C-alpha cells in the first residue's frame, strides 16, 4: 500500500471515529431513577389518559394514573430540567415501584436503545412540561413516537402536563417560532404564520380530531384556542374539537372515552369548543358570530373524542368581532364607591348605609342590563344612584374646595364606539354623569368645563340645583380640619394629600351583546385650589372603555393622570395579552405607587372577568350578574367572590 493510500485510509478512519463520537455525544440525555426498577408490578395495568393543565400537579389525579399503571413502573419524558418530577411521583404521590426520567436534549436520543427499551417495559408513561416545540423537533417521525402509540395500543396509561398535554392531540399548537402566542395575537390573524398548528405527530384514538391547550383559565387562552381551532379546521377540512385544561385541573380519561375532572381550585375545569367554526379570511382578524363553550367540572362527565359534556359546570356563548373575544348573554355590572377609606373612618351606621347604596346602585344598573339595554344605560343608572348617596365623594356628598365650594368632575366612555364625554368644574349639575353622557351623545365635543358645561346642561334639560344641595356637614368638617392642618409648620413640606381624596364613584358594565362601558364621578380632593382637576374627567386617566376592557379609577388623581392608569390597564390587555387581573394589579399596585400615588380601580373585560385592585385600607366595591343578587365589600381583608 502506498504511503498516500495509507494516509487516506487513516484519515477516513479518523473521520469515522469522529462521526461516531459526535453521534454518541449527540445522543446524550439526562437519566434519573427513583425506586426499584426490578420490582414486580403489583397491580393490573389498565388503559387511560391523564390530561393535566400545568402548574402544581393534582395528586389525586396522579394517584388515579398510578393505579392505572398497576402501581408499577413509570417513565417520565421531558425536554428540560432534571429528575425532580420523578422524586415527586415516587416520594410525594407514592404508590409506584419506580420512576425513571429521561431528559431529551436533541433528536438523537429518540433513537437510543436504552430509552426505547425503558419505554417498552414501562407500565405508565408521563410527558412533562417545558416547550412543545422541542418535543415536536426531537420526536417527530422517530421511534419514540412509535413507542408512545404502541404503549397506548397495549392498554397502558399515558399522561401529560402543560407542553406534555399540548402535544397529545391529533392537531397541536407547536409554538415552532420559539414563543408562546397570546389570545389577542392569535385572534388578530388566526391563519397567520405565528399560529403554528402541527399534525401528523402522534395518533391516539381518544384524541383523534382534538386540539388541546393548557394553563387555560389562568393565562386567558380561550381566544387562542378558538384561533387554533379555526386554523386546524382549515387544514383538516372537517370539524374538530378544542379542549383547554385549566392549570388547577386534570382530566382523567377511561378506555371508553368517559372522562372526569379533578380540580384543586373552585371553578377549575376543562373547556370544550366543538366545531365547526366559521371559515376565516387570510391576513384578517378572526370573526365568529357565535360559538358555544362548555366547561366540564368535577361533577361533569366529558366524552372524548366527541366532546359531549354531561352536567357541565358552565355553558356560555361567545362571539369574536374583528379579533376581540366577547361574552354574549352574560351581562355584568361592577361599581365602586372609592378607595381611601380606612378602618375607623366609618361608624357602623355609615358603613351600613354605604353597603346599602352600593347594592341599590347595582340593582338599578343591572335592571337595565336585564331589560336588554346597553352597557351605557347601566353605567349611567348605577353612577346616578351613587351620586345621590351622601356617603360618597360625588354628587350630593362631594368634598369642599379650599374656597368652600363643591366642584364636581365626571366622565363616561362607550367601549363599542370609542365615544366619550366629560365635564369638570361643575357647581350646579345634580347628576354629573348625565351631563357627561349628554356631551358624548349630543355635542361635537368630549370635554366641557365650568359655566360653559352648565350652560350646555341647561340647554339639554339636565337637572340643575342650588349649590347648597351638595353640602353635607361631615364634608364641611373635613374641610375645616384640612384648613387647620394647612396652618401647621409641617404642611408646607408635605407631599401627601393627607387623605384628602376618597369616595370617588364609578361603574363598568358588560351588556348582553358583549359591549362595554365605563363611567366615573367625583367631588375631587378636599381643600383643592386653583381649579384643580383630577383624573376622573380625563379619558384614559380615570375612565377608559374599549372593545376588550373597561376601567374606572379612584385615588390620587395626579398620579393616575401621569400614568394614564385606566388606559394603561386596557393597553396591557390589548397589546401584551395580559390577563385583566394581572394588568390591573400591575398598574394600580405597582406603576401608580412607583410614581408616588395610591388608590384603586374596578376593571371588567369583554369575557366577563372582573378585577378590584386597590392598595388602601378599603375600597367600596361590588358586582352583580346572572349568578344572583348584589355582592358588596368595603375592607381589604373582606372576601368578595369574583364573577
Binding residue positions for substrate? 532-535, 554-557
Question: Nine-digit cell at 524?
Answer: 375631587
d(Cα 398, Cα 476) in Å, to the nearest integer? 10
CA terminus-to-terminus distance, the chain: 87
Question: Nine-digit cell at 628?
Answer: 344572583
d(Cα 540, Cα 415) in Å, to the nearest integer? 12
**Burial of 554 from C-beta contacts in 10 A (0-12 / 13-18 / 19+):** buried
Contact indicator for 413, 519 with CB cutoff of 8 Å: yes
Strand order across the beta sheet in which 171-173 lies: 197-199, 171-173, 210-213, 241-245, 270-274, 288-296, 314-321, 324-328
Q: Where are the beta strands (DSSP E) in 91-153?
A: 98-104, 124-127
Annotated binding residues, as ranges? Answer: 532-535, 554-557
**Residue 266: how many other CB atoms lie within 10 Å:** 9
CA distances from 506 to 301, 365, 393, 396, 520 (A): 42, 12, 11, 15, 4
The two most distant CA atoms of the chain are separated, in Å, by 117
Active site residue 504: yes
Catalytic residue among 504, 526, 543, 616: 504
Question: Nine-digit cell at 190?
Answer: 388566526
d(Cα 315, Cα 311) in Å, to the nearest integer? 10
Contact indicator for 109, 115 with CB cutoff of 8 Å: yes
d(Cα 524, Cα 340) in Å, to the nearest integer? 13
Closest CA to 245 of 270, 220, 274: 270
Active-site amino acid positions:
504
Amino acid at each position: 500500500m502506498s504511503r498516500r493510500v495509507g494516509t487516506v485510509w487513516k484519515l477516513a478512519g479518523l473521520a469515522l471515529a469522529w462521526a461516531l463520537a459526535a453521534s454518541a455525544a449527540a445522543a446524550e440525555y439526562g437519566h434519573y431513577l427513583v425506586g426499584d426498577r426490578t420490582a414486580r408490578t403489583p397491580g393490573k395495568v389498565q388503559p387511560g389518559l391523564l390530561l393535566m393543565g400545568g402548574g402544581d400537579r393534582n395528586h389525586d389525579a396522579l394517584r388515579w394514573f398510578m393505579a392505572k399503571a398497576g402501581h408499577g413502573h413509570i417513565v417520565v419524558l421531558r425536554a428540560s430540567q432534571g429528575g425532580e418530577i420523578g422524586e415527586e411521583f415516587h416520594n410525594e404521590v407514592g404508590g409506584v415501584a419506580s420512576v425513571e426520567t429521561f431528559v431529551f436534549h436533541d433528536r438523537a436520543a429518540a433513537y437510543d436503545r436504552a430509552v426505547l427499551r425503558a419505554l417498552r417495559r414501562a407500565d405508565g408513561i408521563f410527558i412533562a412540561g417545558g416547550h412543545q416545540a422541542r418535543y415536536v423537533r426531537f420526536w417527530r417521525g422517530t421511534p419514540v413516537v412509535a413507542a408512545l402509540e404502541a404503549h397506548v395500543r397495549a392498554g397502558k396509561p399515558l399522561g401529560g402536563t402543560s407542553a406534555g398535554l399540548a402535544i397529545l392531540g391529533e392537531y397541536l399548537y407547536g409554538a415552532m417560532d420559539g414563543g408562546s402566542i397570546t389570545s389577542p395575537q392569535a385572534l388578530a390573524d388566526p391563519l397567520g404564520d405565528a399560529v403554528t398548528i402541527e399534525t401528523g405527530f402522534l395518533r391516539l384514538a381518544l384524541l383523534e380530531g382534538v386540539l388541546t391547550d393548557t394553563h387555560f383559565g389562568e393565562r386567558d387562552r380561550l381566544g387562542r384556542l378558538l384561533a387554533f381551532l379555526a386554523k386546524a379546521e382549515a387544514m383538516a377540512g372537517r370539524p374538530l374539537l378544542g379542549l383547554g385544561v385549566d392549570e388547577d385541573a386534570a382530566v382523567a380519561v377511561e378506555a371508553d372515552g368517559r372522562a372526569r375532572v379533578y380540580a384543586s381550585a373552585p371553578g377549575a375545569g376543562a373547556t370544550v369548543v366543538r366545531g365547526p367554526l366559521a371559515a376565516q379570511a387570510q391576513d384578517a382578524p378572526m370573526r365568529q358570530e357565535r360559538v358555544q363553550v362548555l366547561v366540564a367540572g368535577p361533577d361533569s362527565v366529558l366524552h372524548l373524542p366527541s366532546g359531549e359534556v354531561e352536567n357541565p359546570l358552565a355553558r356560555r356563548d361567545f362571539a369574536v368581532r374583528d379579533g376581540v373575544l366577547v361574552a354574549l348573554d352574560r351581562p355584568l355590572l361592577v361599581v365602586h364607591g372609592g378607595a381611601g377609606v380606612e378602618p375607623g373612618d366609618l361608624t357602623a351606621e355609615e358603613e351600613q348605609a354605604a353597603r346599602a347604596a352600593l347594592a341599590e346602585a347595582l340593582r338599578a344598573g343591572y335592571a337595565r342590563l336585564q331589560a336588554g339595554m346597553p352597557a351605557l344605560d347601566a353605567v349611567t343608572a348605577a353612577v346616578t344612584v351613587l351620586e345621590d348617596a351622601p356617603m360618597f365623594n360625588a354628587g350630593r356628598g362631594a368634598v369642599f374646595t379650599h374656597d368652600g365650594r363643591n366642584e364636581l368632575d365626571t366622565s363616561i366612555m362607550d367601549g363599542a364606539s370609542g365615544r366619550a364625554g366629560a365635564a369638570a368644574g361643575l357647581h350646579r349639575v345634580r347628576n354629573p354623569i348625565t351631563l357627561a353622557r349628554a356631551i358624548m351623545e349630543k355635542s361635537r365635543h368630549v370635554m366641557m368645563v365650568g359655566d360653559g358645561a352648565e350652560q350646555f346642561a341647561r340647554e339639554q334639560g339636565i337637572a340643575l340645583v342650588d349649590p347648597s344641595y351638595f353640602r353635607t356637614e361631615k364634608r364641611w368638617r373635613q374641610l375645616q380640619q384640612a384648613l387647620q392642618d394647612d396652618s401647621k409648620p409641617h404642611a408646607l413640606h408635605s407631599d401627601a394629600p393627607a387623605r384628602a381624596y376618597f369616595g370617588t364613584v364609578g361603574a363598568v358594565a358588560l351588556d348582553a351583546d358583549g359591549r362595554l362601558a365605563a363611567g366615573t364621578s367625583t367631588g375631587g380632593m378636599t381643600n383643592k385650589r386653583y381649579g384643580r382637576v383630577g383624573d376622573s374627567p380625563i379619558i384614559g386617566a380615570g375612565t377608559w372603555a374599549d372593545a376588550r376592557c373597561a376601567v374606572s379609577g379612584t385615588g390620587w388623581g395626579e398620579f393616575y393622570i401621569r400614568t394614564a392608569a385606566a388606559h394603561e390597564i386596557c393597553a396591557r390587555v390589548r397589546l401584551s395579552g395580559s390577563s385583566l387581573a394581572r394588568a390591573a394589579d400591575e398598574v394600580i399596585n405597582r406603576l401608580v405607587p412607583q410614581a408616588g400615588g395610591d388608590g384603586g380601580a374596578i376593571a371588567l373585560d369583554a369575557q366577563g372577568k372582573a378585577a378590584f385592585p386597590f392598595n388602601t385600607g378599603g375600597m367600596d366595591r361590588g358586582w352583580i350578574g346572572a349568578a344572583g343578587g348584589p355582592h358588596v365589600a368595603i375592607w381589604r381583608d373582606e372576601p368578595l367572590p369574583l364573577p
